[in-house]
Amino acid sequence: MINVKLKDGSSKQYEPGITILDVAKDISEGLARNTCAGLLNGEVVDIRTPLNDDCELNILTFDSPEGKRAFRHTASHILAQAVKRLFPETKLAIGPSTDEGFYYDFDREPFTLDELSEIEKEMKKVVKENIKIERFELPRTEAINLMEEANEPYKVELINDLPENSIISFYKQGDFTDLCAGPHLTSTKLVKAFKLTSVAGAYWRGNEKNKMLTRIYGTAFTKNDDLKEYLERIEEAKKRDHRKLGKELGLFTFMDEGPGFPFFLPKGMVLKNTLINFWREIHEKEGYVEISTPMMLSQKLWETSGHWGHYKNNMYTTTIDNEDFAIKPMNCPGGLLVYKSTQHSYRDLPIRMGELGVVHRHEKSGQLHGLMRVRCFTQDDAHIFMTPEQIKDEIKGVVKIIDEVYTLFGFKYHVELSTRPEDSMGSDEDWELATNGLKDALDDMGMEYIINEGDGAFYGPKIDFHLEDCLGRTWQCGTIQLDFQLPLRFETEYVGADNERHRPIMIHRVVFGSIERFIGILTEHFAGNFPTWLAPVQATVLPISEKYHDYAQKVIDALKENKIRVSNDFRAEKIGYKIREARLQRIPYLLIVGEKEAESGEVNIKSRGKDLGSLKTSDFIDKIKTEIENKA
C-alpha cells in the first residue's frame, strides 16, 4: 500500500498504480467530474497518472489556475480537431492554454469570419460526440514516423529538438492525434462552454524569420453563465481600450515616424505631469531625494553593470568619438555612479534616490501595444542604498508607498516573490541572503504572497505587485528588487561604525512602473472618466447663448485664479449639443450658465451624467478645490 497525503492534510492508503482520477472518485463522484489535473509532489500532471509511491497530491479543478490551463488546453485540441475535419490540408503547429483562454497556430491562409463560425459549429459536434481522450507514449523515432505519416512537419521539428532518448507523449481523441505533454481532460464532452474570439498572425516559434502562421484565439469555461460574463467583460474592455480613448480624448498618439514611441498631446501632458507631481509629493514626504542621470552612457558602464551581457539585444547603441555607447534601458547604473560620486558613512544610510528617467528598450514590432508595451517610457525609479540591518524597514517603507498609490486609485493587488532565474549573476550565498531578506520582510508584515520560481531579475530576486482593475484584469506595475550584485560590481562602499569599509545593499523599486503604461491602465480602469484631481480638464463652462459669454468668462477667470483646469464652449450651438460633446470628453463638471445664473452669480452643475443643481460660483470653487486637494 502507498500513502497519499491530500491538500487538507489527511492521508489515504491505496494499492500502487491507482490513478489520480481514481483517487478523486474515491473521495467523491462530484470531485471526479470536476477534476482537471493533479499536483503531484509539486508538479502538475495528467489525471491518468498512476501513483506508485508515497506522495503528496492536490486534485485540481477549474477553480485553480492549473486546472483552468488543463481544461482550456483540451479546448485547443478540440479546435484543432475541428479545423482538421473541415480543412484537412491545414498543418498543425502549437496550441497551448493562456491566462484568459487558449489558441492554436495553423499553417494556412487566414480564416475568414464565416470559416471561424464553421469551426465553432464543428467544435460543438466534437463535444457532443463525447470522444474519449487517451494518452500514449512513443520512442523518439516512432514519434517522428507517426508525425511524418500524418504530414505534420511542425510536429516533426518539435520532436527533433527533443533529446535523443526522450519518450514522446501524444493525446488521441477519435480520428485526431496530437503531439502534447498534457495534461488533458478525459473526454471532449466536458468542454461545453467555449467561444472563438479572434484570428491573428503569429510567426512560427515567435521568430520573425520564420513563416507567418494563422492563430485562432478562444476561451472556455465550465458554465455558460461564466462564458457570457467573460464575453461581456471583453466587450466592455474594447470600449475602454486606452488606444481608442487616448485618441478620442486627445491624450496621446502614435505616428509612423516613431513606431513604439508615444507622442503626448497637451491634455495627455497635463495628465502625465499631474501623476509626476503626485509622485514627487509622496516621495518628498518619505525622505527621497531626486536625481537625473544621462540618457546615454558608455558601453564600458553597461559591461560593468552586466546589462551588456544579459540585455544587449534590447538596447539601442551608437558610436561617439570612436567609443561605443548605449541609450539606457534602465536607470540603475546611473544611480550607482551618483552614489559613488561622494563618500558615505553609515550615518548617511539609508539614501533614497528617486529618478523619473526616460529609458529605451528595443521591443519587437509584434509585441508593441499602445502605451502598454512601448520602446520609450518614463520609469519612476528609486534606488535605496542601505546597511543589512535596514533591509526590513526599507522594504516596509516601499510597500507603504505602493499601497498608498494603488489604494488611492481603487486598485486591489496581490504580491509575488520572484526567485533566481537561470540567466543570473552572483553567488548562491548572495542569492539566498537576498531572497530570504525579501521573504522575511513580507512575513514580518504579514503579507500573503505567491512564490514565482525563476522569474527574478538577473541581478537579484524581486517582489512584484500585480494590481487588479475594475474589469478584474491584472497588471504588473510596482516592483521591489533586492540587489547584492551591482554594489559589488561597481565597488560601492560606506564607512561603518567600526571605521571599516563596507558594501551597501541596494533596492531597485518602481511604483507606477512605467508612467506611460500606468496612464494606459488608468485610462481603461476609469474608462476615461478620471478623478477630478487627475482629469486634464476639470470643469467646462457652457453658456446657453452668446448673450451670456461675458458672465461665462467671469466664471472661467474665477476658476483659473483658483488653479482649476477649465475649458469653455462658446460655439453658436444648442446647449444640448454642447453638453453631449463635453460628456464625450469625460469632463467631470459641466457648468451651464444662462440668464438665471448670471443674475444670481451661480452656475448650474452637471457631473458624470447627474444634475447637481445650482451653486454660487464661489461655493462651487470651494467644493471642487476640496475634492482636488483630497484626491477624492
Cite the active site residues: 332, 361, 379, 381, 383, 462, 508
Taking the C-alpha atoms of residue 336 and residue 328, their distance in angstroms, rounded to an integer, is: 13
**Environment class of 527 (CB within 10 Å of its CB; exposed 0-12, middle 13-18, buried 19+):** middle
Strand order in the sheet with 296-298: 296-298, 323-327, 317-320
Give the span between the Cα atoms of 374 and 377, in whole angstroms.
Answer: 7
Pick from 390, 394, 383, 393: nearest CA to 486 = 383
Long-range contacts of 231-238 (CB under 8 A, 24+ apart): 231/195, 233/471, 233/472, 234/197, 236/471, 237/471, 237/473, 237/524
Closest to 445 (Cα-Cα) out of 477, 488, 399, 495: 399
Q: How far apart are CA 311 and CA 424, in angstroms?
A: 11
What is the DSSP secondary-structure string of 224-291? HHHHHHHHHHHHHHHHH-HHHHHHHTTSEE--TTSTT--EE-HHHHHHHHHHHHHHHHHHHHTT-EE-
Distance of CA 355 to the CA centre of its chain: 23
Q: How far is CA 593 from CA 221, 532, 538, 621, in A?
A: 53, 21, 17, 15
The DSSP output letter for 69 is H
Tally the residues of the chain. Answer: 632
Among candidates 21, 69, 62, 24, which has minimal Cα distance to 44?
69
Question: Which secondary-structure segment (H or E) carries 96?
Answer: none
Cβ–Cβ < 8 Å for 6, 12:
yes
- The CA distance from 431 to 302, in Å, is 21
**Closest listed residue to residue 67, CA positions, set 190, 153, 238:** 190
- The span from the CA of 198 to the CA of 234, in Å, is 12
